Chains A and B, each alone.
Chain A
Amino acid sequence: MAVPPLDPDRVVLHVGVPKSATTTLQFNLFADLERVVYLGKPYDRPGVPYESNAAIAELVGALWTRTELEFDRAHAAELLERGLRDRPGIDDPRSTVVLSEEALTWAGAADRLEIARRLRRLFGRCRVLITIREQRAALRSCHRWMHARRLINEPHDAWIARCLASAGRSGCPDDFAVRHYRFGALIEAYARTFGDDRVSVVATEQLRTDPASAASTIASVLPCDQQAVLERLESRSPRNASPGRLGTAYQRAARRGRALRARLLTRDPDWTDPLALAELNHGVHGVAMRALRVVDRPPRPASRETDAALAAYYRDDNRLAAERTGLPLGGMGYAV
């Protein structure tokens, strides 16, 4: 049965910059709340038809990886419809649909303003929750993530220096990696696209220093009270450090091993691995990952020069973000 068009008031888009506790919110909150129809990672969620999850995964991929030449609006609308069809709770008019994906703010293949416009066309004037994190800490975490996947081989300081250099290999300042942490501009763009009153902002630091106010902001867009948000965020450790190179290699090997075993047992060469990210941090895998974390070389702290350069890069934008959101970003360690 076709799903009727969604009322924008029933939709919340979580636009979290990478490394801003997005996984914590996705796995511990959105996926766990009653009356929330959650669309997002992990895409292999039990209880949801495989086709629905696959359609949403494809839609999200298209939203942020397809350029304007490649993006097909009609197909995107069709994917959304397929993704919502047969999803538990979608027929309940009191439920809220939450789409969460950090890549929506990634300065990558698709222009970020175009991503916002695509979302606006798909979901109408819905509510937007943006999560941010102090840039220097986020970039250290981001570097570790990319370094573990061998997408960067340089140490953190050298990488930042290259990002901030006036002209990189492609003539652009290679600042794409640091650009998506310009929150002021990001918040302004979403406010322009969806309306000032539709955009809420939570700083990751609030989850630690002032969880009640973070929970209050999150609860204002979700069909639950502040206490329910607090309980879910506090009951689980918010730490979700990316593994290093050894940990990443182990996770890949674990997945390959499982897939090989299953293909041999089922004799199905197309068997796909349903092992979720969370499972790779629990049980035997959890023990192995904890052991590897000890030997995996921890990232070096950033030098003072790098910290100063990043502070200078973000200062004006942080002031704009503080002005727009009313959050005391300076007190949370942001350069203002």
Chain B
Amino acid sequence: MSDREPVTILLAPPGSRAEAVACELAGEMTDAARALGDEVANRDGIGFSFERARTLRDAWHATSPPVLWHPGFAASSRTDPLVIARRLRRLLPGARVAVLMDDPVETIARVHALELGRAGRGPELERWVRARTRVDHYHGRAPDWALRDADPRPLAEASARLFGAERLALVRLEDPGRTPVPDWLGIGGPRFAEIVARSARSGGAKSHVSEGVRRALEPYYAGLPGF
């Protein structure tokens, strides 16, 4: 493939409403896109092969539209966002990146409900969050992977460093009618609002967020606009 063809990469925290939007924008994931995404996102430095990824990229490009989305690109606690961005930059140097951002607390409520198989009650979510924020005396850190995943800032920073600000769009979902969406994303304001509204409806269950949950999450998301 020619590396210069415009490709759009979509990033959104896993389990978030933004992810549902990215999924809809990207359309049905082809096998080739899944294979490429799996190679890039699901292997750490031990196991990743650039040659294999390049072959998969060519196969993806030959069969799929130029919008690449894979939930693993944004599992930032599991796969280093800068490492993923480096791989994507090397594979698709001319690509543009859109980071879809949502309120992380909203994302946590969805992820919890997904794990539970139903909408959790406030105390259930609070216990879940506290188990993940409690520093383990043995290892000296909190098992906070899910909480880190919900934060879109590392995705934005890694993309800005590797792709440059001019190729990066940060799209917030809070007020979709007024959120500026770049032309190259191919969706105007009203259509974007429509997709966001649909994603909110189809997003599945959401656990109840109590004040205690917000307080427990404060150290993680303080400073995020809208938190």
Q: Which residues of A contact B (CB under 8 A)?
A: 41, 43, 57, 60-61, 65, 67-69, 103, 107-114, 116, 149-151, 167, 169-173, 175-176, 179, 182, 185-186, 188-189, 255, 273, 277
A43-B140, A108-B145, A109-B77 known; A171-B71 Cβ under 8 A = yes
How many contacts A-B (CB < 8 Å)?
107
Closest to A174 in B: B78
Provide 20 A-B residue pairs closer than 8 Å at the C-beta atoms, listed in order of the A residue.
A43-B140, A67-B81, A67-B83, A67-B154, A68-B83, A103-B139, A108-B78, A111-B45, A112-B45, A149-B131, A150-B131, A169-B111, A170-B74, A170-B149, A171-B14, A171-B37, A171-B75, A172-B42, A172-B71, A273-B137
- Asked if A170 and B141 make an inter-chain contact with CB atoms under 8 angstroms apart, the answer reads no
Smallest CB–CB gap between A53 and chain B, Å?
11
Give bound CA distance, A172 to B111, whole Å.
15
Q: Which 5 A-B pairs have the closest CB atoms?
A: A113-B45, A171-B71, A170-B14, A68-B82, A172-B72
Interface residues of B (CB under 8 A from A): 14-15, 34, 37-38, 41-42, 44-47, 70-72, 74-83, 111, 114-115, 127, 131-132, 136-141, 143, 145, 148-149, 154, 157-158, 161
Interface of A is mostly: loop
Cα(A37)–Cα(B34), bound, Å: 48
**Which of A113, A170, A175 is the one whose CB lies under 8 Å from B46?**
A113
Q: Which residue of B lies closest to A102 (CB)?
A: B139
- With known contacts A171-B71, A255-B137, A277-B138, A69–B14 Cβ distance under 8 A: no
> In the bound complex, do residue A61 and residue B140 qualify as a contact, i.e. CB atoms below 8 Å apart?
yes
CB distance from A254 to the nearest CB of B (A): 11
Q: Which residues of B contact A170 (CB under 8 A)?
A: 14-15, 71-72, 74-75, 78, 149
**C-alpha spacing A176/B14, complex, angstroms:** 15
